[in-house]
Structure formats: structure tokens, C-alpha cells
Amino acid sequence: MHTAICDLFDIEYPVIQGGMAWLGTAELASAVSEGGGLGLIGAGNAPPSWVRQQIRSTRERTTKPFGVNIMLMSPFVAEIIEVILEEGVPIVTTGGGNPGVHIPRFKQAGLKVMPVVSSVALAKRLERAGSDAFVAEGMESGGHIGETATMALVPQVVDAVAVPVVAAGGIGDGRGLAAALSLGAQGVQMGTRFVCAEECVAHPRFKQKLLEARDRATVATGYTTGHPVRCLENRLTRQFMAMERDGASVAELEGFGEGKLELGIIEGDLEGGSLMAGQIAGLIKEIKPAAAIIREIVAEAEWGIAKLNFFVHNHVVFEQSP
């Protein structure tokens, strides 16, 4: 399976690991890149020194391409951009906003830029600014989300731009990859599935909670702040939603949320911490090495596409077969 996104990033398989705050460390990013996908260091709100150290540590573990995800709500965006340029990272993705003002600098330095977008309008604007590709991320995703579901968003972004589009949100196995390719995407980005990679530094209690999650385990909070977030439902999300219902101000809500992501996904406080995760959590049943996750997803998608082809050409009725 080889697509335009493989050529763009010089990777073997069209599978990208979302640059997750706290979890997109050198361990996970290098394991994904070594497995033939694209690993991303998640800068999140981390200081620039941490990002530099993760870049160097990733380089010690793999010679394959990898990138850095800049979370645009971080207070350190300007410094992190300097680190990325100084360290010669070849690929940048962005989340949580509009990276338009930064794109010219990256392009001058020869980097490939792939913003995460949740609307057609932003994709069009950022294509004019020089983006090389987009992640079209639906509201099924874990973490910060937009309003449109992956199934509706991806084909609309694909039709609106000329550069390759990667689908994200609600993808966890080969059926999801095959579906994304059918929608016109050139690959997939997964976050929640890679939280349950062996190399991911997420707390074991958080990983276990994901394995036990069902289809309706997540909720989206924070619509009143303008920055909704999808997480596993727990005491924290219930408290947060109660505060929103009672008319808490954005400052109060942001203050309440501070430090909660680390508490949940790194320290393993399953009720008091934030457990960012997507709706696909219910599909994940095993913790595996990242390379195995990638291999299985690609093989399952290839098999699924071949099977569909057979069904279509032989007028066979679809069965619920594995």
C-alpha cells in the first residue's frame, strides 16, 4: 500500500501517529517511524528544552523520518518553532488553531507542513499559505475537536484542496484505513489507537481503562470555552460539565482544567484527571508494539479492499465475515 502521503514524507505505510501532548515522546514516535509509519513528537504545552531533548532522543533511536506537532495554544509556540528549525526536523504538523502566520518560515527552511483542520474553510486558507498536506480531523477524535464528523469532513476537504489529505478521528483498524482511502484520503492519523501501543508512556491504568471502554465511553466538554475536548467520561468531565451548566467563566473553567491532563494520562488518576480519548476507544482490545499495530492495520485494509472488490465484481451479498 503506497500513496501520495508516503512519497511526501518518505515513509513506507500511510499511517501517522497523532502528535499527542504528553504521549508523543521519543519512545512512541521512534517506534512508529521504525514500524514504517510517521511518528510525531507532541510538543503540547511542554517547554522548548523538552522538545529539543525528545527530538535528539528520537534521532538516537531511528534514522527514519519523523515530525513534531506544535499545539498552537501553547505559550511556547515561538520558541518551539526555533527548536524545530535549529534541529532540522523535516516535518511539522499543527493542532489547536490556525498556523498560517508560521507557514512561510517553515517553507523557506524546506520543511513539510501538515496542519490539522476541522473545516473546509481553514484548509483552503492554509493551502494558499503553502501547506503540503492536511489532516482532516473529525469530532470523533480524542483531544481538541471541531464540529464535523470524519465521514462528512474528509471528502469535503479532499474536494476543496489539491494537496494530499489524511483522515483522522475514529480510525482504529484496517476497516477504518480502507474507509478513509475510499473517502479520498491518502492515509490516516490515529491517536487513541497508539495510546495503547506498548511504547506509549501513558499510565498503565489509563491504557487499561481504554481497553475496557465501550462505544459511548467518551464525552465532549468545553463547548462554552470555544475549545471543546473529547475525553473518557469520569468525575472530572461531570464536574466540568456541571460548571459549564452553572455558567462558569472561561477563566474559571481553564483554571479548573489546568494540570488535569498530566494527572490523568501520566499519573493515572482515572477520576480526577483528564483522559483524552476518541470514540474508537471501544474498538481497542489489546496493547501491542506500534510496529505490529501498523502492520496489522495495513494488512487488514488490503484484505478488506480486495474482499470488497471481489464482492462488487461477483455480485455477492455481503456477509459479516472477518
Ligand X SMILES: Cc1cc2nc3c(=O)[nH]c(=O)nc-3n(C[C@H](O)[C@H](O)[C@H](O)COP(=O)(O)O)c2cc1C
CB of 304 to ligand X, least distance (A): 18
Query: Could you give the CA distance from residue 284 to residue 207 in angstroms, rounded to a whole number?
Result: 10
For the sheet with 229-232, list strands across it: 143-144, 229-232, 218-221
CB of 89 to ligand X, least distance (A): 15
Give the three-class secondary structure for 82. helix
Query: Could you give the CA distance from residue 229 to residue 237 in angstroms, rounded to a whole number?
Result: 10
CB of 117 to ligand X, least distance (A): 11
CB of 317 to ligand X, least distance (A): 31
Q: Which is nearer to ligand X, 11 or 171 (CB)?
A: 171
Bridge partners, residue 288, by sequence: 197
Q: Which is nearer to ligand X, 19 or 257 (CB)?
A: 19
Residues with Cβ within 8 Å of residue 17, at least 6 apart in sequence: 24, 28, 29, 32, 37, 38, 39, 40, 189, 190, 191, 194, 290
CB of 319 to ligand X, least distance (A): 27
Q: Which is nearer to ligand X, 58 or 141 (CB)?
A: 141
Q: Which is nearer to ligand X, 64 or 144 (CB)?
A: 144
Dihedral sign, CA of 144, 148, 151, 153?
negative
How do strand 229-232 and strand 187-190 relate by DSSP bridges? unpaired
Q: Which is nearer to ligand X, 79 or 252 (CB)?
A: 79
Q: Which is nearer to ligand X, 19 or 222 (CB)?
A: 19
CB of 265 to ligand X, least distance (A): 6
CB of 247 to ligand X, least distance (A): 28
Question: C-alpha grid cell for residue 100?
Answer: 498560517
Q: Which is nearer to ligand X, 73 or 312 (CB)?
A: 73
Residues 251 and 257 sit within 8 Å (Cβ to Cβ): no
Q: Which is nearer to ligand X, 252 or 267 (CB)?
A: 267
Dihedral sign, CA of 312, 306, 303, 192?
negative
Give the three-class secondary structure for 221. strand
Query: Could you give the CA distance from residue 65 to residue 61 in angstroms, rounded to a whole number?
Result: 11
CB of 302 to ligand X, least distance (A): 20
Query: Which stretches of the chain bind ligand X, using CB under 6 A?
Result: 18-21, 23, 42, 44, 69, 71, 95, 116, 137, 140-143, 168-171, 189-193, 195, 265, 276-278, 280
Buried b (16+ CB within 10 A) or exposed e, 264-287: bbeebbbeebbbbbbbbbbbbeeb
